[in-house]
Amino acid sequence: MAPFRRRRSSISSARPLVAFLLIASFGILFAGCSSSPQEPEEEFTFTEEDVAHFRELAQHAEEGVSTPGAEPRLVMDGGTGALEEVPTLDLSMAREYQAIRSGAEGEGANLYRITNEFLNVRSAPSVTADQVERLDRGDMVTVLDFVDAAWARVTLPGGREGYVAQRYIAKLASEARLAQEKEQFKDTYFVDFGFLNVRKAPDTLSEKIGELPGQAFVKVLSKDNVWARITFDGKEGYVASEYLAPFLPNFLVRQEIFTLPILQYRMSQEGMLTAMINHIGRLKEEGYRLVTLRDFRDLLVEQEERDVRLEPKTIVLAVSDITPDTFKDVSDALRASNVRATIFLQTNLLGINGITEKQVLTLLANGHDIQSAAHTGDDLRSLTNAQVELELKQSRKLLEDMTQKEIFAVAYPLGGVNSRVEEKAKEAGYLLGLGAAQDRTFQRSELLNLPTFALSASSTADDVVGLVKGE
């Protein structure tokens, strides 16, 4: 029985300690309920320095200046992995996009654009000469003269001279000046053969007075189908006409003014989906061709190499302000209408609890174009430079990671864009941006602030047809 007695003794010895702890606890509780006087709450007031600081913050926000210690941290629900820091983007197309947006600047001057992916600048007109620099597509050089039909002597942006292959450069020219530009090279021919004999008279048995190397320029005085009279070493001579070809440098004649109505349907308006379906049906009946902004982007890129134009009666269909609740209805309506559209997504609505990756990829599989509506939907004009940068770059990064396609267009929330926001969009690698102006025509310089027709749910099919016709 000894073990049992020891257990009772242990229990009994703990009782005084428990009693002591209970008494101490009640004592503290009652002490806290005593009626000691409370100190009055401290009154808070703004000082003149506080007011001045608040005014400074407001001024910084208006001017887009970041306030130290107040950098943006955008967080997105839904588990898509939104970044809190400005992401690193692929800006490999930024230089080409800037070239696309530029017009025929320097018309009348000898400015030429590099049309190949890259171009080596040599110290002499020979492929074996030393390379002095490498230029990329879209870079500009000033042509001092054409050495022959194969090489041009140029001045580089830094002032150095060199030689480049003539076939990889082109002069920007508008349609209005093209004829005038070509006139400068009238009656200029080159030897389109390895070499060409120069004779004293127009006869194969005539005395040979010299020889012209291949690609050499020839000034033709007169010409028929057999012989051409030319100047050679200060005197006249004759060469076979069949070995001469007219010389003309490359000209990049691009469309400078576009007629391309962009119809924007903002699904935040009640009844907009029904209106869009009715409009699409009527536009099809009128013979209009509905395309995406990706189609337009591809045409702009192709125009950097050759003169191609938009087909007549082409319209861009743009859809924005889609939420997780309206996503399925919009997708079903577009599929039933058998059209492709550019769909602008606000990226803080993406995720497992919002617009899912599966839904976005289904849109792509159905031929639609996915582009950015920024991240939070805030008017970018009201944000600081750092906030605008994060909005545009994070949205592009999230969409590119999800779609595995380049994101090159942004629909500025609420149509809010100014020169500062436009510059930030360019820095983020965007080619196109949808603004608030309403028009059916625009110029290259407006590609980051494109006019759109932001339609209302009350717009009739007749109204829309009148807009796209310019009536």
Rounded Cα gap, residues 371 and 218, in angstroms: 53
Residues 341 and 384 in one domain: yes
Q: Among 22-36, 102-116, 240-254, 397-411, which is the least confidently predicted range? A: 22-36
38: pLDDT strictly greater than 60: no
Which pLDDT score is estimated for 17?
46
| End residue of a domain, out of 155, 180, 205 | 180
Domain membership of residue 207 (yes or no) is: yes
Last residue in a domain, options 126, 154, 180: 180
Classify residue 74: in a domain, yes or no: no
Regarding pTM above 0.85, the answer is no
Q: Is the pLDDT of residue 41 over 90?
A: no
Vertex 74 angle, CA 71 and 76, to 5°: 170
pLDDT tens digits along 55-80 = 555 555 445 544 444 444 444 444 45
Instruction: Average the pLDDT over 363-368 and give the result.
Output: 96
Q: Do both 349 and 457 map to the same domain?
A: yes
238 and 327 in a single domain? The answer is no
Residue 34 has what pLDDT? 45
Give the long-range contacts of residues 336-339, CB within 8 A, separation 24 or more: 336/277, 337/277, 337/280, 337/281, 339/280, 339/290
CA end-to-end distance (rounded Å), the chain: 111
Query: Are both 206 and 313 inside the same structural domain?
Result: no
Q: Return the percentage of the chain with pLDDT > 70, whole number.
A: 81
For the segment 148-169, the average pLDDT, to the nearest whole number, is: 93
Which segment of 116-130, 168-182, 219-233, 292-306 scores lowest on mean pLDDT? Answer: 168-182
Residue 215 sits in a domain whose CATH number is 2.30.30.40
If one compares 106 and 161, the residue with the highest pLDDT of the two is 161
**Residue 291 within any structural domain of the chain:** yes
Does the residue 67 lie in any domain?
no
3-state DSSP of the chain: CHHHHHHHHHHHHHHHHHHHHHHHHHHHHHHHCCCCCCCCCCCCCCCHHHHHHHHHHHHHHHHCCCCCCCCCCCCCCCCCCCCCCCCCCCCCCHHHHHHHHCCCCCCCCCEEEECCCEEEEECCCCCCCCEEEEEECCCEEEEEEECCCCEEEEECCCCCEEEEEHHHEEEEECHHHHHHHHHCCCCEEEECCCEEEEECCCCCCCCEEEEEECCCEEEEEEECCCEEEEEECCEEEEEEHHHEEECCCCEEECCCEEECCEEEEECCCCCHHHHHHHHHHHHHHCCCEEECHHHHHHHHHHCCCCCCCCCCCEEEEEEECCCCCCHHHHHHHHHHHCCCCEEEECHHHECCCCECHHHHHHHHHCCCEEEECCCCCCCHHHCCHHHHHHHHHHHHHHHHHHHCCCCCEEECHHHCCCHHHHHHHHHCCCCEEECCCCCCEEEHHHCCCECCEECCCCCCHHHHHHHHHCC
- Domain presence at residue 264: yes
- Mean residue pLDDT of the chain comes to 85
Q: What is the model's pLDDT at position 18?
A: 46
Angle at 195 between CA 189 and CA 200, to 5 degrees: 80
My answer on whether 301 and 426 are in the same domain is: yes
Q: What is the mean pLDDT of residues 429-457?
A: 95
Judge whether 97 lies within some domain. Answer: no
Structure confidence at residue 332 (pLDDT): 95
| Same domain membership, residue 353 and residue 259 | yes
Q: Same structural domain for residues 206 and 350?
A: no
263, 368: one domain:
yes
- Rounded Cα gap, residues 96 and 114, in angstroms: 11
| Residue 349 counted as domain residue | yes
pLDDT at 387 over 60: yes
- Mean pLDDT on 347-376: 96
* Residue 400 predicted with pLDDT over 80: yes
Residue 88 CA: distances (Å) to CA of 346, 390, 398: 19, 11, 11
Which two structure tokens, joined as six digits, stand for 453? Answer: 């027709």
Among 424, 369, 426, which residue's Cα sits nearest to residue 399? 369
Question: How many distinct structural domains can be found in the chain?
Answer: 3
Cα-based angle 392, 396, 101 (whole degrees, multiple of 5) = 75
84 belongs to a structural domain: no
Go through the chain and tell me how many residues it has.
Answer: 471
Range of the domain at 160: 104-180
